[in-house]
Structure 1
Amino acid sequence: MTAETRPPAVPTPDPDLLYSQDEEALRSAVRALLADRSDPATVLAGVTSDEPYDGALWRALAAEIGTAGLLVPERLGGAGASTREAAVVLEELGRSVAPVPYLTSAVLAVTALLGCDLGPVEAAAALTALAEGRTVGVLALPWTTAPGRLPAPTVTAGPDGALTGRVTSVADAGSAGLLLVRAQGRNGPALYAVDAAADGVRTEPVTPLDLTRPLGHLAFDGAPGRLLAAGARAEAAVERALLTGAGLLASEQLGIAEWCLSETVRYTAGRTQFGRPIGSFQALKHRMAALWLEVASARAAARNAADALASGSPDAAVAVAVAQAYCAPVAVRAAQECIQLHGGIGMTWEHPAHLFLKRAKSDELALGSPGRHREALAELVDLRAP
């Protein structure tokens, strides 16, 4: 085909990274709820409890505001919204490190189910239950699993759907009512639905770094599984869930960084030394200004990933890899600066700054490390190492 006969390229519309009025209204509702029921001091007081998450807060967030069903189609009881709206919720959850299973249930589990054949009553009923906040769904994969290269399943499925095996370090495993388990069957990998309370299912709690997002090992000993999807469809559903989760995790990391920067500016403006606010010292000004630039760039990267996922952009994988490679280190750096610039008080258990550092460090490994996403990005844009 010559240049004269080649069809003209269809221009790709520029992404709109600004927040819409509806998104800002959603933010206001979520922020008001979290300020009332999940401020950092409240979270700090509750992290030592035996409860896996704040049930009352989750019911208010999931059902009363309706955030659990944002990604679920309206015909199945959801809001029929997009990843842009879900990203706004995760920004606010990051700002409060709220102990609720939103990312694991309303994003990862919902997206995996949407990738299955919705003909079976099982998948449709599960999505409706998740959208209404009546149950919590968890995709049973190690929390560090990155999109792009799924490991071999560690669970096997018998001809009757009985599952046997073990999955380690599953986020919010103890909160789950519904487990989505990737297992190796006779004809290859498949995705099964398993009731967390069924016989043959055992959850072993793990002491995590981030106390606001518990981890657990899942053991299956002949647990009854219900087939949702098999073969290429099952693998594509899991991959899409991981890609969406990684892209929206960047918004949670953005929220962490925003809180840490705001709290640091507030503290340094009120803390005086030598008769002056320490925030007026030039060295501290430079550090906070540099952090502000990084947070602004992180906002652009996170919003671009959310918009690319929402619009079905062919470059969504690139946008997600960029967002994760950039936002994860920014969240950690913001939390570290927050603790250091608070001085001695920042090192105490009573100040909530350590909750943000632990969430940031945990998120840095979740759904793929920054290094893993940089490797993926190099392959996607054909910049492989020699």
Structure 2
Amino acid sequence: MDRYELRRLDYSLTEDHRDLQAAYRQLLDSHCTIEVVWAAQESGFDKSLWERLCAMGASSMAVGEAAGGDGATLVDLTLVAEELGRALAPVPWIDHVCAARLLERLGGVDGDVVTGSRIVGLDAALDPVTGVRLIPSGSVADQIVVRDSEQVVLLGFGTRPERVANLGQLPMAWVDPDTADTRVVLGSGAPALAAYERALDEWRVLTAAALAGLVEQTMTIAAEFAKSRHTLGVPIGTLQAISHPLANMAIVVQGGRNLARRAAWFLDNEPDERPELAGCAFVFLAEEAAKAATMAVHIQGGLGVSAEAAATAYLVRARGWALAGGDPGASARRVAEIIARRESAVSPTEPVSV
């Protein structure tokens, strides 16, 4: 089996991957504590943290070298997304890099977008929306890429829309394309819409990776509490009602992480081979992250529902982040449609690929 064929099945990290992930974990451990996360809740955005990330190359890495970026793979980006999810980082990094990569494909990316000095948002809803729509990074983005009928359009606003309070503590806002101060058509017809669909798939993959990181940290918080809390002279972590859910969280982390990396690899290398994987990763983590965070709150008892408990911060984001792109059920339906089309194209005598 050659290296390329092996990589379709093996999603272990290389030394460079581990170094990349370690670098971002170190940065976020130092500059994105839970206190920083709480302090940013009113706006959903920490400008200082964003600037630190961009200075480290978090924005430029997502764009190809021909456009002035570093040409990172989508698998590389999942590693950064995972660390941002682990830290609950209040920055619109996923929206920005997916929008920047879309702009690159449509010939509209420039140096300010590459460096992150101008933030670009993305309408992440899978089902086409007309008129006013909720944009996950709408209150902090300088420009926003949306799909308008058969066109992909870049909108600019002189005054940013007002933030809407939301469960995920995102810088979310209602955006009306008709009120934009500038409007640039990036492309139209099937090629432009296909590029937009690719951006949405990347958004789902990176959001899934972020949720995997969130679940892992949620598990760590719950496990540390379970080791220190005693009942009848033993740590509560030794009880099956606690240890089994914690084991399930570990399975979710590993399974979800591998699924996100697998989806990223296929999008980069064989986008037409397994187009359902992006949706699979997103739907799986959207459901399991909320379950894991809820269990972490249960393990901590009354402590887990207080504003001072870190588990609460993870719980609301586990439930809210997956909704930033609309109903996850739309992704589930798309996965079903892709698989149904593939199976209907297989003759009765031919084995079905799963």
TM-score after normalising by structure 2? 0.89
- What amino acid is the match of 2:9? P
Within 5 Å, give how 1:286-325 maps onto structure 2: 286-325=244-283
Deviates more, 1:229-238 or 1:28-37: 229-238
Separation of aligned partners in 2, 1:257 and 1:179: 29
Greater per-residue strand proportion:
1
Q: Which residue of 2 aligns with 1:57?
A: 49
1:231 aligns with 2:189: yes
Aligned counterpart for 1:218 among listed residues 149, 152, 175? 175
Which whole-Å deviations, capped at 9, do the CAs of 1:126-181 have from their partners, x for residues lacking one? xx212212110012x2x5x12xxx42543xxxxxxxxxxxx321111111112223
Cα distance in 2 for residues equivalent to 1:243 and 1:362: 19
Q: Is 1:283 aligned with 2:241?
A: yes
Count of residue pairs the alignment pairs up: 340
CA displacement, residues 332-355 of structure 1 (integer Å, 9 cap, x when unaligned): 111001111011111100012122
2:351 counterpart residue number: none
- Whether the 8 Å contact between 1:206 and 1:216 is mirrored in structure 2 is yes
Q: Secondary structure at the match of 2:12?
A: coil
**What is the alpha-carbon distance in structure 2 between the residues aligned to residue 332 and residue 16 of structure 1?**
28
Q: CA deviation at 1:12?
A: 8.7
Do structure 1's residue 74 and structure 2's residue 65 form an aligned pair?
yes
CA distance in 2, matches of 1:326, 1:183: 29
Deviation at 1:92, TM superposition (A): 0.4
| Alpha-carbon distance, 1:264 to partner | 0.8
Match of 2:142 among 177, 180, 190: 177
Aligned AA for 2:14?
A: S
Picking from 27, 31, 36, the partner of 2:25 is 31
The match for 2:11 among 11, 17, 37 is: 17
> Are the equivalent residues in 2 in contact too, given 1:113–1:237 (CA < 8 A)?
no
The answer for the alignment partner of 1:161 in structure 2 is none
Identify the residue that residue 192 of structure 1 maps to in structure 2. Answer: 153
Contact 1:114 1:237 in 2 (8 A): no
* Rounded Cα–Cα distance in structure 1 between residues aligned with 2:188 and 2:40: 41
1:379 to 300, 320, 337: 337
Distance in 2, matches of 1:215 and 1:195, equals 16
Computing the radius of gyration over CA atoms, which structure comes out larger, 1 or 2? Answer: 1
CA–CA distance in 1 between the matches of 2:232 and 2:94?
A: 45
CA contact (8 A) 2:155 2:180 kept: no
Q: Which residue of 2 aligns with 1:6?
A: none
Distance 2:22 2:306 in 1: 31
What amino acid is aligned across from residue 128 of structure 2 in structure 1?
Answer: P
Q: TM-score if structure 1 supplies the norm length?
A: 0.82
1:383 is displaced (CA, Å) by: 7.6
Letter in 1 for 2:70: A
Higher normalized helix content (fraction of residues): 2
The aligned amino acid for 2:95 is T
Counterparts of 1:236-275 in structure 2 under 5 Å? Answer: 236-275=194-233
- Residue 3 of structure 1 aligns with which residue? none
Cα 1:378/1:205, change in 2 over 3 Å:
same
Which structure 2 segments of 5+ residues have no match? 344-354
Q: Distance in 2 between matches of 1:222 and 1:297?
A: 42
In the superposition, relative to structure 1, how do residues 366 and 308 fare at CA in structure 2: closer, same or farther (>3 Å)? farther
In structure 1, C-alpha distance between the alignment counterparts of 2:5 and 2:32, rounded to whole Å: 44
Q: Give the aligned residue type for 1:177.
A: D
- 2:70 is paired with a residue whose SS is coil
With over 3 angstroms needed to count, the CA separation of the structure-2 counterparts of 1:20 and 1:289, relative to structure 1, is same
Task: Give the stretch that moved more between structures: 218-227 or 250-259.
Answer: 218-227
